[in-house]
Structure 1
């Protein structure tokens, strides 16, 4: 039932789901949607072990980013996003499920155990998000100069809160400028570290085809975003990061809405919750014709993270920062073949 390749991964024919197939086969089909989740540097740091009617979602530490993500916080956020996509797909195909987080203290890499059944409780709010999974895309280009309606902002907030996270929407120009300043400062700090530059370079290597951040063209020349494909101009300024901070600051300042996602706690369970909240928000946004890109640089710098917390006016730990708006068409990031991540 699973025939996706790195280039066709986003073109899944849901009509090929076989309602009479064994649960293990149905699970494998649904996992095609799980792997479409976003991840830092497009590392896709997950593995899946299907055994009958269960699937273990595992963190792939070999795809960790020790410089930018030394505690695997963003790695687990990515796994949480994949888990949410799986929940949506299972709900759409009429399957019930029960989830146990970190079921084995002996193996902390197993972040979730999902038990699937044909009968049981279903979250009916998830199935309507299914079509947005293959529509969601990260857009690094400038957004249209139009505000995000209050009703949509409310829907984005509700999406995060439904997954146990807190959210703050910033649309006032002064707030956006303050965020832009911190993004610029974080860029300077990160690019001053040769370890950061080497790590980033490894994930934008032109020979990468099914992961990482490949070159897509000159339409967004000069921009750098740590969750989406980068352009060749970045390589020319890699040693110093020249131009990147100023470009980011201009980009953020011109975005109609900045969204911060935070959690009351700051542990592995909270990071999984943040990932599920992120993907739920992104799918709601995609359903409204909106897109997003990430501004996590200030959150990755501990001294700036405190300042972001103050800007968000949340008594919680900020986990993610992104800009939301209506952007031009963008290509999907590539995906590894499902066979590479499935056991």
Structure 2
């Protein structure tokens, strides 16, 4: 065989796929990238069932957050982000597919069934996003004092629109100040709830190795940066809301762009669409050399979520689903881009 024909279809830090790989091998390879999707508290609330020519994307509700996310809205969004990564990876390895969302007569935890078909969907724009899956990073550090170019903002809006959601981009300081105040208010309310603190503490426990959040990544307080073994106990015991609110207020004011993702309805279909839009927006941002972090606190607090659409310039009837800050973050050392991930054999069957 000619040497060029022996080259792998994909050769990356997350695996190597040979040209001769079967459909099922390509599916399993693509799942290595699906699991790099973001999730609230890095819960990774997904599992996948692989067949010879299909993948079922399922919710793992044992990894739910009943206090912060009582209706599994953000859990479904996370699974939607994993589904989008799967779509990108399948396009990259040359597999066309059809998708059935919430297939009838199936387990209610099956959110989507992706089936490989010769005449299926083939989005030519997706392979260009593949490399960004591995470089996308969430940072809670301050961003550079550098505005996000209007062309990039339009690309982010187009990415969300392609997945059927509304995107609002906010850059003026006076508008960011209003958003910062709402985020700080939500922080104080959440941390004033002992149930929220217990739930958060469970996901920053030092014994976690393949999921959850390292204490240094939580931005709770400087104390947690050098006392990681005590982080869970500190969060569980003390109301850190004032310090967290002040930190996030500064981060919002120092972020050149705030992005809100919203939908017309507020049901499981809208949540899954939000997840796919989220990852498409994040990959578009990463392709432009930008990074993001989440400011979802106002959306998680009843009574505050309804105030957000007006603050970002959306219709009052819009359902705010996610709030992000986007900008140029600090350089991240090689090998630590993503939060820890569970082994593939724990989430794929």
Shift of 1:21: 2.2
- Give the match for residue 222 of structure 1: 221
CA pair 270-105 structure 1, distance change in 2 beyond 3 A: farther
Counterparts of 2:217 and 2:312, CA distance in 1: 34
Counterparts of 1:134 and 1:195, CA distance in 2: 34
- Give the match for residue 296 of structure 1: 296
CA pair 231-311 structure 1, distance change in 2 beyond 3 A: farther
Shift of 1:18: 2.5
Q: TM-score, normalised by structure 2?
A: 0.89
Higher relative contact order (CA 8 A, sep 6+): 1
Output one character per residue of 1:189-211: Cα deviation in whole Å (capped at 9) or x when no partner. 00011000000000000010000
Counterparts of 1:231 and 1:286, CA distance in 2: 31
Shift of 1:119: 5.0
Which residues of structure 2 form unaligned runs of 5+? 1-11
Matched, 1:140 2:146: no
Counterparts of 1:158 and 1:230, CA distance in 2: 41
Structure with bigger gyration radius? 2
- Give the match for residue 345 of structure 2: 339
The answer to whether the 8 A contact 1:222-1:234 is kept is no
CA pair 217-244 structure 1, distance change in 2 beyond 3 A: closer
- Structure 2 SS opposite 1:115: strand
Match of 1:320 among 319, 322, 325: 322
- Structure 2 SS opposite 1:302: coil
- Give the match for residue 51 of structure 1: 51
Shift of 1:214: 1.4
Task: Note the 1:61-72 alignment, pairs <5 A.
Answer: 61-72=61-72
The answer to whether the 8 A contact 1:167-1:262 is kept is yes
Counterparts of 2:160 and 2:114, CA distance in 1: 21
Counterparts of 1:100 and 1:138, CA distance in 2: 30
Paired residue total: 327
Q: TM-score, normalised by structure 1?
A: 0.91
Task: Note the 1:77-96 alignment, pairs <5 A.
Answer: 77-96=77-96
Counterparts of 2:145 and 2:227, CA distance in 1: 24
Counterparts of 1:84 and 1:106, CA distance in 2: 21
CA pair 161-120 structure 1, distance change in 2 beyond 3 A: same
Counterparts of 2:250 and 2:227, CA distance in 1: 17
The RMSD of aligned alpha carbons is 2.1
Output one character per residue of 1:252-291: Cα deviation in whole Å (capped at 9) or x when no partner. 1111100000011110000000000000000000000000
CA pair 323-101 structure 1, distance change in 2 beyond 3 A: same
Counterparts of 1:172 and 1:200, CA distance in 2: 32
The answer to whether the 8 A contact 1:204-1:230 is kept is no
- Structure 2 SS opposite 1:99: strand
Counterparts of 1:230 and 1:283, CA distance in 2: 32
Counterparts of 1:114 and 1:223, CA distance in 2: 44
- Give the match for residue 36 of structure 2: 36
